[in-house]
Structure 1
Amino acid sequence: MSITSTLTPIRPIRVEGRSRLAVVGVTVVAALAVWALLAPIAGIHLDAQQGSRIQVGVGSVFFASAAMAFAGWGLLAVMERRTLNARKAWTVVAVIACLTSLGSPLSSGIGVGAKLGLASLHLVVGAAVIVGLRRTALSASERC
């Protein structure tokens, strides 16, 4: 009599409710909400000087926040395939990228209100992406 094993290798399974697409949506909604509070409601002109004068509008906020969320998602997916402890490494890279991104609004914003408003948009998008995508990543022990 021989015993055969029908066990299949266990692959990491994402926890339900940890949807990366939902993180993208929440990021965009949060950025648009902050923009709505700053520009139309508070009346702050979110203008920047980058070669020419740029007024940051709803379309710019929508596309930039979605692009950053998808970029974070892509980087996390690549790091999950290439490194053992992707969650920790990705978080460090994402925090550094978020802090580095503050240089642009603080240096090119026109006026104190615009500088602080644009910096707050960067921080909201960064926080939503970092916290949201970090929760979707499997830890090193969950992946092994």
Structure 2
Amino acid sequence: MIEQGLLAAILAIAAGGAAWDIAKRRIPNWLCALLALVCALYSFQVFGIVGLGWAALHSVIALVIGMGLFAIGAIGGGDAKFYAAGALALQLNQALAMFAVTAFSGLVVLIVMVLGRRFVARSGYAPAELRRMQLPYGVAIALGLAITLLRF
């Protein structure tokens, strides 16, 4: 029962992060911290203390890679922290699944954005901010986490 409640909380927080990223193009630190806390509780509940240790290793690896990507401007800092927080819910053997599903989801989000920009541009309304709009990668991260938790 606790496990299902924690899973529901993870999914709700991830959805909130995705919505926040769509609206503001940033993910706040408090939301990443909340996701990390709930994911850590979930890992402890489902996998025990040893499993929490493996999940923490997964999270640290994800954070180091994410911060490297942030340093070169490939993703935002909130995206890196959001992904690492979500990684706390998963074991190392699920890391590749989360990465692959997140990457695929990111591609889908990118295609939707490009098609949306073209549609809006064809309508004759193409403000400058539309051309500079950043990809809300928090959506892809939330989808990657949710699908990995529910399927893998």
TM-score interval, normalised by the smaller of the two chains: 0.3 to 0.5
Greater C-alpha radius of gyration: 1
- TM-score (norm. length: structure 1): 0.36
Higher relative CO (CA 8 A, sep ≥ 6), structure 1 or 2? 1
- TM-score (norm. length: structure 2): 0.35
Higher helix proportion (structure 1 or 2): 2
